[in-house]
Amino acid sequence: MQIALGSDHAGYSLKSVIVKYLEEQSHSVIDYGVQSEHSADYPDLASKVCKAVISEECQFGILICGTGIGMSIAANKYDGIRAALCSEPYSARCAKEHNNANIITLGSRVTGSGLALEIVKVFLDSNFQAGRHQTRLNKIREIERAQRKID
Ligand code: RB5
């Protein structure tokens, strides 16, 4: 499994902790940056990670900014991206089991690194349950298709 990571300056430090953890767990990681705490615009990094997930170069993405909100808003503009802002493990489990999220977003100013690692672990260990949840995801897909016709 290959995992794409990206953050703005606010998320840089937490991203480094998560990259280290994932590598220790023998996951293959692509770090799309940023690589410092110099000011950066979160949509630029969201864009890189979303493209990696849509192209299937990576199976999942993790995006981090100060609150996780900006990354979540930006990522969910992409067709086929289901990004879930998670601040505790229960939501991370449901994001995979119910929503088949392909990206989680985290807020470095909201969620401490220990909890963030637990969230990442739970998300990766959970499986999509399909069934009625797939029916609902199909309806989201229909919304995306309808939006494309308007554009
Ligand atoms: C940066 O100050 C901050 O606005 C950004 O990291 C994020 O929280 C936006 O949603």
43 lines ligand 1 (CB under 6 A): no
Phi, psi values for residue 91, rounded to 5°: -65, -35
CA-to-CA separations, 85 to 23, 36, 94, 110, in angstroms, rounded: 23, 23, 11, 11
Nearest to 108 by CA among 90, 92, 85: 85
Pocket test for ligand 1, best of 15, 38, 42, 106 (most atoms within 8 A of CB): 42
Q: What is the pLDDT of residue 151?
A: 62
The residue contributing the CA closest to ligand 1 atom 10 is 70
pLDDT for position 92: 98
| pLDDT in single tens digits along all 151 residues of the chain | 899 999 999 999 999 999 999 999 999 999 999 999 999 999 999 999 999 999 999 999 999 999 999 999 999 999 999 999 999 999 999 999 999 999 999 999 999 999 999 999 999 999 999 999 999 999 999 999 998 877 6
Q: Does the N-terminal peptide bond of residue 53 adopt cis geometry, omega within 30 degrees of 0?
A: no
